[in-house]
Structure formats: structure tokens, C-alpha cells
Amino acid sequence: MAYVAIADRDHHLHDPQTFIEKYVWSQDHKVIAIQYGSVAIFVGLIALVLSLFMRLEIGFPERFSFITPYTYYQFVTMHGMIMVIYLLTALFLGGFGNYLIPLMCGARDMVFPYMNMLSFWVYLVSVIVLLTSFFVPGGPTGGGWTLYPPQTVTAGTPGHQWGILLMLLSLAIFIVAFTMGGLNYVTTVLQARCRGMTLMRMPLSVWGIFVATILGLLAFPALLVAAIMMILDRTIGTSFFMPALMSLGEISKTDGGSPILFQHLFWFFGHPEVYIVALPAFGIVSDLLSTHARKNIFGYRMMVWAIVAIGALSFVVWAHHMYVSGMNPYFGFFFATTTLIIAIPTAIKVYNWVLTLWQGDIQINTPNLFAIGFIFTFVHGGLTGLFLGNVTVDLPLSDTYFVIGHFHMVMGVSPVMVLFGAIYHWFPKITGKMPNEVLGRIHFWMTFLGTYAIYLPMHYLGILGLPRRYYAYGNTTLLTPSAQAVNEAITIAAIVVATAQVIFLINVFYSVRKGKAAPHNPWGATTLEWQTPEIVPKHGNWGPKLPVVYRWAYDYSVPGEERDFIPQNEPPKPGQPVHG
């Protein structure tokens, strides 16, 4: 007897009937996706405000009484961790992973819907625990987003009392939530695809989310191990990471612990984390570019292999974040080499995106603008990554603003460009309404140009030698007067970019309420999620029958066809050759 998941059992048994079942304790992947997305965006806005506080201090030092050295480091730490984990990871995988996988694979729901629901609620608990740290004595941790010991748990560091404990606890809870969600995403891709949907017919969005989830499932345990051990160091005085210290004339009780061990564990998670965010972005942007350029993706097979290769290689580059820790030069050589090797499949993807656009019927609309903008920001961030991947270049630049510029271009702006492109692209599917195009374009240009105005000058500041992590620079002769002027300009640009996000929010709320009703397939897309019986799919997605897939996801502008796209579930015409 075949196993039948809840989503495929008799509908009258599991269709949600009450408001609570539909929108609160929902097991529907689409509702869970929206729940994940809403919380992630909410917490991301908090992190955005924190970054503005940081920029205000750097641009206009000591003008704001509520920004002290103590709070400044708390803002830095919370901004970084929230953006990387609680916004980007949660939104790409919990949000888009949940929404797209069943729809794009032709499934009714995730394979384990109850666990999927639990995943969201546990994620919400992790967010609440994290935000609670703003209200405990000492406030949130200010040890930097990498939480390096011994500083993070040593007296004198902001939040060393409760903040760090809540941060570590929150991360552990997040990992539990991610594991529950991740098991669903991977199993659903492997086991719940509709008839005809072979792996090589899957859209690249699903490929990116699929491989990123595998990375997460294997890499997050490293962070969990580090978090558990650090909690014990902080609470019962173990010395896993804590060496002997002399503090205020007294020798600590700790001895023999290895801060470098923490760094290894952290970055064994931390570098795959870059690709946990990047791979879904790579996949989604491939689909956006192909759809809006009305052209099949260039080198589909190579794109799939590149995603897999990047995923595998991401586990052997972690120590390039630790060149300044005093590692053996041979290790440095090894990790520099692997870092350069991972650039090869990444570059293949960039070439393929550009070649997809080449001679395409490029539609200039908001989703495509963000997708094309991503190519610029990613190439920029990627190239500066090659600089930092080399030990001899990294050593002088490691503690400067060059790293901030690089990191934010490649890991901040680029994925966020894809997120916005994806939100505008799937907005009609999620809400049944079209987003406002004028507001969308204003949002794009302010964000795209604004972020360049923020991060491009940071590279210059880094080469000047401006150190990062400083609360204030004072009257030092180290810096030229232009450095302060540049910092002021960057802060103004940051305010402009933040304002642009208000426009985005206005667009979302305005369009949901008063936007034009969306046509069934507004972008003329081939993928299955646009082929549901209703524009906003009901519970179960497909009505009485699951779709059947007859072709790959990129039949755009096929010669001899009337329309410039052929949906994946459209059978071959009579007389057409059938292969496979």
C-alpha cells in the first residue's frame, strides 16, 4: 500500500475549515510561506533601522546621544545576524522555498505538512527569543555578528550577561526550525514531483533552493555545536573556547580553550551559509531573466552542474575567513586555491545569465530590472571577493572597509535584489493583484543606485586603510579629511536607500488593496506555478488532478510557435516528434 501524505488524502478530511486552521495553524505551504516571509521582512526592517543608526554614528559622529560605543556594537551585531540568518535564510528557504517547491514541482503540498507548520512556529519563537534580548539587563550581545570568543562572553563586552545567551539560544532554536523545514524541502523535491517532472526538467529556482537546503542541513549543525559549547563556557565555566585570561588584574578560571576552534566551527557553517543564501538567488534570477527576456536559459545543464559544484566546493573554503588568525601558510594556500576554484562555476553562471539576455526580447519591467541589477552587483561583489580570497591581499585589507564593501555587495545587495525581483514577479500569484509598476521602478532605481553610492566608496575607504568595527575615528592623522566626507555621503545614501524600502512597503500594501486584478499568467511564464486552475491557488493547488509535465521549463520563443512560450504541462501537438 502506497504511503499517502496528508495533502493527498481525502480532501474533506483535511481542508481547513476555520480561520485559525486557514491562517494560523495552517499546514498549507503557501500560507506558511507568507507567514515566514512576513516575519522575515518584519525582522529585516528592524535590522535595517539598526544599520541606519550605525551609519548615523559613522557619518555624523557623536551627534546622537542614544548611540554610544556600547549600543553601537549591539547594533552592529544584531544587524548582521538578523540580516544573514533571520531575514535572508528564512525568506529564501522558508518563504520562497515553501511557496515555490510544491507549485513548481507539481505537488499538492509539502510531504510533511504538519512538520512544515511546526517549522514556522519554531522559527517565530527563535525570532522572539532574539528580540527579547533588547529588553534584558545589559541588552543584546555586542560581540560582533561572528560572536568570536573570548570577547563575546567576557565582561566589558555589551550583552555578555544575557544578550549572548539569548542569541545562542535563538540560533539553536532557529536551527531546529530550519531542520524541520529543510527535511520537507529536500524530501518534497525528491519524492513528490508530478508525472513527467524529471530532475532535469525542474526550474533552476527549485534546483537552487534544493541544493541550498542540503547545504543548510549539513552546515547548520556546526553552528549548533559551537552554540552549545559556548553556552556551556558562559554558564558553567567550561573552557572549550576560553583560554586563560588576565582581566582587571585577575587571572580567569578558564584555561586551555581554543578561540580558533570556535572560528573553525563558525566558518564551517558560515561559508556554506553564503551559498545557502546565494544558490536560491542564483536559481530564482535565472528564471526571472529567462522569463522576462523571452528566451530559454543559456546552458541549463551547465547551470545545474554549477549549482551542485558550488554547493560541494562551499564546504572546503571556510578558512579563507580566517587568514588573519595566524594559520599555517600551507592551509592558507589550500584555502586560497579552493576559493579561486569556486569562482569557476560561479563565473559560468554569470556568463550564462548574460548570454540568456543576449538577443533576447528583454522586457523592461520591475522584476527584470532587479534581476539585471543583480548581475551588476554580483559581478562587482564577486570580483572583489577574488582579491580577498588571496592571502597576501586579504591580510592588509581584512580589517578595513574594503571587506564591508565586498561583503555587502555580494551577500547583502545581490540577494536582496533577487528577493525584490522575486517578490514583484510572484506578487500576482500570491495576491492575485499586479504590483504598481511606477512605484516598483522608483524603488528599483533608488535601491540600485543608492546601494552603489553606499558600497562603492567603501572599497576606496578600505584601500585608504579605514578600519572597520570602529565606533568613532576621532582626530587621527591616519585618515585624510576626504574619508570623513565620504562617510557623510555614504550615510546620506543609506538614508535614501532606506526611504526606498518605505516605497516598496507602500507598493505592497497599496497593490494588495487597490492593485489591478492580475491576469492568469501575466508574464507569459512556462513554469507550473502559473498553470494552476486559479491565479491564487486554492488548498491542494491543482484541483482534482495533478498536472503532467511534457517539457523543460524554458520553452520561450520556440521557432514556429504562435505564442512565445509553451507551458511545461502543454502536451506536444499531434504530429510533433516526441522524444524521451
Partner 1 sequence: MFTAMTIALLAAIAVWWLLIQGLKDKPWLTQGVVPTSQEGITSSAPKVGLWIFLAVVSSLFGLFASAYVMRMHGHGGLENWQRLDEPSILWINTLVLVLASGALQIARNRIDKDQLAHGRAHFLAGGVLTVLFLVGQVLAWRLANPNGTLGASSPAYTLFVLVTAVHGLHLIGGLLVLGRTAKQLFGNIDKAGVVTRSRLRLSVELCTTYFHWLLLIWLGLFALLLST
Which lies closer to partner 1 via its Cβ, residue 128 or residue 190?
190
Residue window 61-100: x/- pattern of binding to partner 1, with contact defined by CB under 8 A: ----------------------------------------
Whether residue 168 contacts residue 153, with contact meaning beta carbons closer than 8 Å, is answered with no
From 250, 143, 192, 198, select the one nearest 29 (Cα to Cα): 192
Determine which residue in the list 151, 187, 337, 390 makes contact with partner 1, applying CB under 8 A. Answer: 187
- Write the CA distances from 271 to 79, 231, 339, integer angstroms: 18, 22, 11
Determine which residue in the list 85, 104, 224, 317 makes contact with partner 1, applying CB under 8 A. Answer: 224
Q: What DSSP line would sit under 170-230, residue for residue?
A: HHHHHHHHHHHHHHHHHHHHHH---BT--GGGS-HHHHHHHHHHHHHHHHHHHHHHHHHHH
Determine which residue in the list 8, 21, 437, 488 makes contact with partner 1, applying CB under 8 A. Answer: 8
- The one segment of 138-146, 175-183, 346-354, 429-437 that binds partner 1 by CB under 8 A: 175-183
Q: What DSSP line would sit under 233-283, residue for residue?
A: HHHT---SS----EETTEE-S--S--HHHHHHHHHHHHHHHHHHHHHHHHH
Smallest distance, partner 1 to C-beta of residue 156, A: 20
- To which residue does cell 535565472 refer? 286
Which lies closer to partner 1 via its Cβ, residue 61 or residue 221?
221
Determine which residue in the list 45, 52, 125, 218 makes contact with partner 1, applying CB under 8 A. Answer: 218
Which lies closer to partner 1 via its Cβ, residue 193 or residue 406?
193
By CB under 8 A, tell whether 4 contacts partner 1: yes
By CB under 8 A, tell whether 403 contacts partner 1: no
Which lies closer to partner 1 via its Cβ, residue 192 or residue 371?
192
Determine which residue in the list 108, 321, 433, 539 makes contact with partner 1, applying CB under 8 A. Answer: 108
From 454, 484, 475, select the one nearest 59 (Cα to Cα): 484
- How far apart CA 374 and CA 417 sit, in angstroms, is 6
From 220, 194, 21, 205, select the one nearest 98 (Cα to Cα): 205
By CB under 8 A, tell whether 502 contacts partner 1: no
- How far apart CA 274 and CA 295 sit, in angstroms, is 29
- The one segment of 122-130, 197-205, 472-480, 515-523 that binds partner 1 by CB under 8 A: 197-205
- The one segment of 70-78, 84-92, 185-193, 355-363 that binds partner 1 by CB under 8 A: 185-193
Judged by CB under 8 A, the chain residues 267 through 296 that form the site for partner 1 are 268, 296
Which of helix, strand or coil describes residue 78? helix
By CB under 8 A, tell whether 432 contacts partner 1: no
Smallest distance, partner 1 to C-beta of residue 188, A: 8
Residue window 228-257: x/- pattern of binding to partner 1, with contact defined by CB under 8 A: xx--x---xxxxx-xxx--------xxxxx
Q: What is the 3-state secondary structure (H, E, C) of 104-156?
A: HHCCCCCCCHHHHHHHHHHHHHHHHHHHHHHHCCCCCCCCCCCCCCCHHHCCC
DSSP 580: -
Judged by CB under 8 A, the chain residues 302 through 341 that form the site for partner 1 are 304-305, 308, 312, 315-316, 325
Smallest distance, partner 1 to C-beta of residue 111, A: 5
Residue 207 CB-half CA count within 13 A? 26
Residue window 340-379: x/- pattern of binding to partner 1, with contact defined by CB under 8 A: ----------------------------------------
Determine which residue in the list 151, 258, 337, 398 makes contact with partner 1, applying CB under 8 A. Answer: 258
- Write the CA distances from 250 to 148, 240, 245, 253, 254, integer angstroms: 22, 20, 8, 9, 12
- The one segment of 124-132, 193-201, 483-491, 525-533 that binds partner 1 by CB under 8 A: 193-201
Which lies closer to partner 1 via its Cβ, residue 185 or residue 407?
185
Judged by CB under 8 A, the chain residues 112 through 141 that form the site for partner 1 are 112
Number of residues in contact with partner 1 under rule CB under 8 A: 83
The grid cell for 239 is: 573552557
- How far apart CA 400 and CA 394 sit, in angstroms, is 10
